[in-house]
Structure 1
Amino acid sequence: MTTSASTKQGQEDDFRGWRSHNRRDYFWPLGESEYAHYIPASQNGLGDMFLHASFTTKSKSIIMDPLRIALCWAITHSRHPLLMSKVIRNCNLNISPTSKEEPYFWFSLPKDAIKEANSCLVFDNLPKEELILNYLNGPRTLFDKHMSYLVISTGSPSTEADDTDKGDYNLLMCAPHFIGDGASLHQCTHEFITLLASAQSSQKLKQKLIQPLNWVDLLPPTLES
């Protein structure tokens, strides 16, 4: 038993359903429930979720700084690793018991958390109705390599002179249903807005990304377990 266990440890570690051969890349075959939601989403986007929120800031020049927004989005990603995971369907892993066609989650430790968060962050000036209409009826926003998407929109430009520092914004946070449900999307949005509106400076927020994280503890247990 000791020899067998040590051999397995040297080849592939198992962390609550996630497996890794190098402690940097983790994978997890989709369970039956996740697979049932994944297939229609991968084919035509059915089951993709979004949450819209409108809010007003008293100090848009500080709170709505693009770098601060990216920082908060990166921190939200770090708290919910599935948001920055991928789904792999055809990857030659000799260590993987899955077939080449079987989808599985793939999570890699971020090399540049802010850059990766920026890749699925968009700034726009569309009103709420257009944002939602484009998401529902336009080209699919989410795909296997980007399982989260955040839009920050200033809405329709005002024709009135704006001599205050207030700002009205629309937020659209998007994620596929096979990684969570409406409650988890609400939680992620709440955490993001809380970070954004906090009294912490952007420099202090950045420290949260520099601190080493125990990703094994942050990775969620498999749904089927």
Structure 2
Amino acid sequence: FKRRLGPTEVSYYLGSRGEGVESGVNDMYLHIGFKARASLMNPERLLDIWTELTSRHGLLAATVEYENVNEVRFCYEPPKNAAAARAKAKSLMEVRAGQDQKELLDSYLNGSRTLSDERLSYLVFSTPETSFLPADLEQEQEYDMHLFCTHFLGDGMALHTTANELFTLLAAKPAEEGEPNIKKDGEEEEPAAFEVEKLAQAMESKLTTPEGWGRMAWAGARVEFNRTQAKLVGGQAFPRAKLGERRTLVPTISYDSATTKKALSSCKSHSTTISHAIFALSNIAYIRSTTAGTGKGERDERLPSMLYSALNLRPYLQSGGDWYHIAIGYYNIILPSFLPSTISAAEAFWYRASVVRKQTSEVVKSKWMASRAKLMALERERRAVGFEREDERRRAPKVVVPEVNKVEEKVEEKKKVVVPSTALMGLSMLGNLDGMYAHKNYHGLQLHTLTTGSRQRPGALLLFAYTFAGKLWLSLGYDSMGFQEGVIESWWTEMQKGVDEFLLA
């Protein structure tokens, strides 16, 4: 099967076509640390499960065919039999013993690219122990699961849903329904029928618009989209620097169950959520960690702070078909860049959290949601194509053209007022992930740690916030070589202080 990439997929694909350490921008990872009964972790059994998942979700085993910026396709060849399905899955999976988890992740984020056009996903099970399986198979052992995937293939919701499928199968007894039944190499001579009829469709083809939506409606949607984009004003940014080659760090903190419950209770009493609070906290931490002024590197209080975030569009898609594909849009939150002197910091914080709630609600409840998502996808695709063409010209051999003397004609241009639309940072609010992982069904397994993120471009900064295993987690991915020394570290310290001051008071 082949299909062209949709606009959102194209924008992410072209953005990943860098060189060296800048290749693979936005390649995602999901890491889950867990304790398991060793009898469940036989490598052959793990391969059975991964074979099942790559058979269910064809894009995981697909490749990309690139001709030019306008002709990019997913290619998927259904396996002819169970042995072929198993062989394909085996090429996309690895089992490691004696592997330090942090070293593995650092290599993925900062080393040579793991994924490629021929390998869009990769699954790694590892253990820090010297042997992957202990002598006593009834003994429990620590393991780590890393699911790697290009961002043009899927998104966070796809990763988490697939991980839940994986651990459900891993915990299942052989006789239980749902246990993978993939035959081993050589056990089957007749071809097996796989039910993958076509690849998961692009998000844009599944977005639903109101009944009777026609040409006039799209004209109005374009006007509304342009008007909304023009209102995105942001004039704050962390001071950048080029201290060396990009190096992503991922400092992560978690709060125990009792502390998490207290934070959730504080949000509920103020009619907000953890997600709303983290936006407000990011804004206040920035104000407290910077100096007000109009000079270089100072915070100009006259301009607001703009923060961007991904928006899960799956509730707005037509149902049916494989769900493993990217389905995200984007929205922005705009907040003041100063703290008022007439109210307390706590009052300002909770008020800003309520402002975030209101702005978020206006986005998700808008009748223009589907049209905005499609138009933004087309805009992102247009920008990505432009950047890729510039890169292609840069990579092409340079041709020296003789200069021709021209008479310059001075033309007086009217100066336009340029409104800044700089985003301070990105936030990914994943919500309560315990609602996506069926912990109670994971017999013989105990999931205790989760981190997620992606390979970044230089100067990137993205904060994740979520609850998992009953704990609140804050995980920051940033380029430690892309900002002035101490800038992000000071902001991160103020974030942690803010949690104690506002959410746990």
What is the TM-score of this pair, normalised by structure 2?
A: 0.35
1:68–1:80 distance in 2 versus 1, CA, 3 Å: same
Structure 1 residue 212 corresponds to structure 2 residue 187 = no
- The whole-number CA distance in structure 2 between the counterparts of 1:100 and 1:130 is 35
The 5 Å alignment of 1:69-218 reads 69-90=46-67, 102-111=71-80, 112-124=84-96, 125-157=98-130, 165-200=139-174, 205-207=180-182, 212-216=193-197
Contact preservation (8 Å) 1:69, 1:196: yes
Partner residue in 2 for 1:39 = 14
Aligned pair 1:29/2:4, yes or no? Answer: yes
Amino acid across the alignment from 1:131: L
- SS at structure 1 position matched to 2:180: helix
In structure 2, the CA distance between the partners of 1:35 and 1:127, relative to structure 1 (3 Å rule), is same
Partner-residue secondary structure (3-state), 1:69: helix
SS in 2 for 1:205: coil
Q: Which SS does the other structure have where 1:191 is aligned?
A: helix
Indicate the residue corresponding to 1:66 in structure 2.
43
CA distance in 1, matches of 2:55, 2:101: 28
What amino acid does structure 2 have at the position aligned with 1:140? R
- AA of the residue aligned to 1:102: E
1:54 aligned counterpart, secondary structure:
strand
| 1:108 counterpart letter in structure 2 | E
Aligned-residue RMSD, C-alpha: 2.6
Report the CA distance shift for 1:137/1:117 in structure 2 as closer, same or farther (over 3 A): same
Amino acid at match of 1:31: G
- Measure how far apart 1:214 and its partner are: 2.4
Give, in angstroms, the shift of residue 156 of structure 1.
Answer: 4.3
The runs of 5 or more residues in structure 2 that have no matched partner are 185-190, 206-505
Write the deviation string for residues 95-151 of structure 1: whole angstroms up to 9, x where unpaired: xxxx69721101111241111111011111312211211110111111011111011
CA gap of 1:162–1:78, structure 2 versus 1, over 3 A, is closer
The answer on whether the counterparts of 1:149 and 1:173 sit within 8 Å (CA) in structure 2 is yes
Structure of greater relative contact order (alpha carbons < 8 Å, 6+ residues apart): 1
Deviation at 1:30, TM superposition (A): 1.1
Q: Which amino acid in 2 is paired with 1:82?
A: L
Q: CA deviation at 1:192?
A: 1.1
The 1-side partners of 2:202 and 2:36 are apart by 38
Q: What letter matches 1:45 in structure 2?
A: G
1:3 match: none
| Alpha-carbon distance, 1:85 to partner | 0.6
Greater alpha carbon shift after TM alignment, 119-128 vs 100-109: 100-109
Quickly say closer, same or farther: Cα 1:36–1:101, change in 2 above 3 A: closer
1:10 aligns with none
What CA distance in whole angstroms lies between the structure 2 residues aligned with 1:42 and 1:107? 21
Paired residue type of 2:126: S
Q: Is the alpha carbon distance of 1:88 and 1:65 closer, same or farther for their aligned partners in structure 2, counting shifts above 3 Å?
A: same
Deviations 1:55-90 (A, max 9, x none): 1112x1x31111110110011111111000110114
TM-score, normalised relative to structure 1: 0.75
- Quick one: which amino acid aligns to residue 50 of structure 2? W
Unmatched 5+ residue regions in structure 1? 1-25, 91-98
Matched length: 186
Q: 1:165 Cα deviation (Å)?
A: 2.0
Q: Contact conserved, 1:42 with 1:144, CA < 8 A, in 2? A: no
- What is residue 291 of structure 2 aligned with on the other side? none
Three-state SS of the structure 2 residue aligned to 1:214 is: coil
Give the % identical residues: 33
Quote the offset at 1:206 in angstroms.
2.2
Which has the higher Rg, Structure 1 or Structure 2? 2
Cα distance, 1:211 vs structure 2? 5.7
Q: Is the 8 A contact 1:152 1:171 kept in 2?
A: yes
**Kindly tell me: are residues 201 and 127 of structure 1, through their superposed partners in 2, closer, same or farther at Cα, counting changes over 3 Å?**
farther
Please report how far the alpha carbon of residue 222 of structure 1 lies from its aligned counterpart in structure 2 after TM superposition: 2.3
Contact 1:153 1:171 in 2 (8 A): yes
Displacement, 1:167?
1.6
- Partner of 2:118, secondary structure, is coil
Per the TM alignment, residue 200 of structure 1 is displaced from its structure 2 partner at its CA by: 1.8
